Each structure stands twice: as C-alpha cells, then as structure tokens.
Amino acid sequence: MFKSMLTRRNAMLGAAAVVAAIGLAQPAAAVTPEEIKARGKLIVGIQGDNPPWGFVTSAGKQDGFDADMGTLFAKELGVEVEFVPLEVNNRIPALTTGRVDVLFATMAMLPDRAKAVQFSKPYNANAIVLIGPKNKSIKTNEDMANLTISVAKGAAQDTQVTKNAPPTATIRRFDGDAASVQALVSGQVDALGGNIFYMDRVEKARPGEFENKLEFQKLYNGACTRLGEKELNAALNTFIDKIKGNGELKTIYDKWMKVPVPEFPEKLDGIPFTAG
C-alpha cells in the first residue's frame, strides 16, 4: 500500500511538473496598439551595447539608431517609451515571453527567425563581414584557415563565419557584440565576424590597423512582434511606410549611419512582412 501511495504521489508530482512546464512554455498573450495606448507606455527591446544601433550613454540614456526608431514609434502611438537593453541571445525570448512589446534590436531578417517572431517591413540594411588586419591578405574564405575569429554567439555573424570558415579556423563565441569586438582590439583573436558598422568601433580603439575583408551576406533589419499580433504588426508597417515617405527615416540614417537610405525589397523569401 505504501508503494502504491508513493506511486500515486509521484504521478501527481509528475503531472504537476508537466502542467508547470506547459505554463512556462506558453507564449505571452497578444497585445494590440489600443492596449498599449491604454497603458500609456510602449516597452521596446533593444541592444544595450552595440553602437550605432543601441547603447547606453554615460548619462544612462538609451541611444542609437534603434532607440530613435523605438522613440518615434512610441510617439506615433501617442505613448511614452521604455527601453529594455538585451543581449543577442535573449532578444527573442524577451519578446515571446512578454517582457517587451516589440523588438527594435538589430534583428536581421532570417527565415529561421521568422518561424519564431513576426517581422515588419525592413527599415535598415546591413551586411555580415569579416574584419581583419590591413597587413594580412584575406581575400577568400580559404584565407581564414588557422585564424582565430570572434563572433557574438547566436548572431548572424556566428552563422556566417561558421558556414564559411575552413575547419582549421578557430571560432570563439562571446556573449554579445561588445565582447566580440573587445576580443579583436585586445589581441585575443586574429579577426572578427560582424556587420559593416563594427569598423567604427574598431577604428576608434585601434586606428588604422583593421578593415572589412570579406562580405558574407546582405541583410535587412525589421522590427519584431509576436506571431499572430496582426494589429501591432500592421501598425508597425504603416509607421515604417510613413517615415520612409516623410523623410524621418532619412534623418535617422543621416544621424547614425551616415549613408543614403537604401532601396528595400518588397519581399524576402521565407520571411512574411505581414501577420497571417
């Protein structure tokens, strides 16, 4: 009988654990623009240490390209903005669990990510590159042989360097962009997988020593909401169309990217811009 009681108790505990796990795994409930307006605040997930995209100033203020985008979208909704600084690996979990309402967080638009989040229309263009010493010839993927290369773990540059580097290359994965850049400028690695805007940070730390060597992939960034949030996705797309048309996106580009606003694609394979 004692064994039977234990069996029943263990079964009940197991069932409770399954229920708890299901509860933890459930995504956050959808949020609408009207609910955000009623709350009076838009909560934006953003990168915390990746200039010019998102970073915290010495005064403790969130700033950068994506910060300006988030601020402008909150203004469009008529609410205040609250930023939640995130690392590369916790951007999507922060969104899907309801910690933030939307991501303006250097989110490269990739088909695998589109299975987990809803992308808006693109609002920024980027490219994944390899940065290396000016005095070293790196013209092909094979030239990465035997190099030690830093990347932000789980980011697009991690994927591209892993895909393109020869087996003899050593890939060191760091928790975030800042750490991977620091690994290069401090001499821990030979090269760095990043995007085209990393060079500004590298140049400030080690002027005249490094340059963009290889380009692996053209990318576009989009804002992200949870899957199925049709109204919020529609509001984002309307907002992006508006700032493209009225020159506000150009103003942000001029301020942070210092390059012309690119032409954006009408569609990307495997990445819907509108919630189905």
pLDDT in tens, 175-200: 989 999 999 999 999 999 999 889 98
With bands split at pLDDT 50, 70 and 90, how would you rate the model's confidence at 259? Answer: confident
pLDDT at position 24, please? 41
Backbone angles phi, psi at 185, to 5 degrees: -70, -20
With bands split at pLDDT 50, 70 and 90, how would you rate the model's confidence at 258? Answer: confident
Say how far apart CA 141 and CA 214 lie, in whole Å: 8
Scan for tokens 């580009």, then name that residue. Answer: 253
**Residues ≥6 apart with Cβ < 8 Å to 4:** none
Say how far apart CA 180 and CA 183 lie, in whole Å: 5
Say how far apart CA 125 and CA 222 lie, in whole Å: 9
Are residues 157 and 183 in contact, defined by beta-carbon separation less than 8 angstroms? no
pTM of the model: 0.78
Are residues 123 and 224 in contact, defined by beta-carbon separation less than 8 angstroms? no
